[in-house]
Amino acid sequence: MHELGIVFYVVDEIEKVAKEKGATKVLGATLELGEVSSVIPSYFMELWEWTIKKHEMLVDCKLDLVTMKAISYCTECKKTYGTVEFGKTCPNCGSVKTYLVTGNQINLKNIKV
């Protein structure tokens, strides 16, 4: 049910932005999904289609999902690397003193009204 909460959040955000713009209809939106955000895109889209039917403003809204690469940073060698490929271990020096810089967030990029 993780995805459903995010769908509701995104719907709220889009409606808020649309109202600020004085729009009555939203035609499209772009959502950035981090690679390690734990959202399954196909499942997310299914819930999205189901949810927007109940929101008059969004019935025609086409959602584009854009995947954002997950990047980790190594505090030992001060380099970044792809999190999905290497996990918590730095491929440059083998250190595990690494942390995720980007890739677990969900951003509403833009909306078309």
Among 24, 67, 89, 92, binds Zn ion (CB under 5 A): 92
Among 10, 31, 74, 111, binds Zn ion (CB under 5 A): 74
With CA atoms as reference, report the closest residue to 7 among 27, 26, 33. Answer: 33
Among 38, 95, 105, 110, binds Zn ion (CB under 5 A): 95
Q: Does 76 bind Zn ion (CB under 5 A)?
A: yes
Contact call for residues 111 and 14 (beta carbons, < 8 A): yes
The C-alpha R_g of the chain, in whole angstroms, comes to 17
* Residues in touch with Zn ion (CB under 5 A): 74, 76-77, 90, 92-93, 95
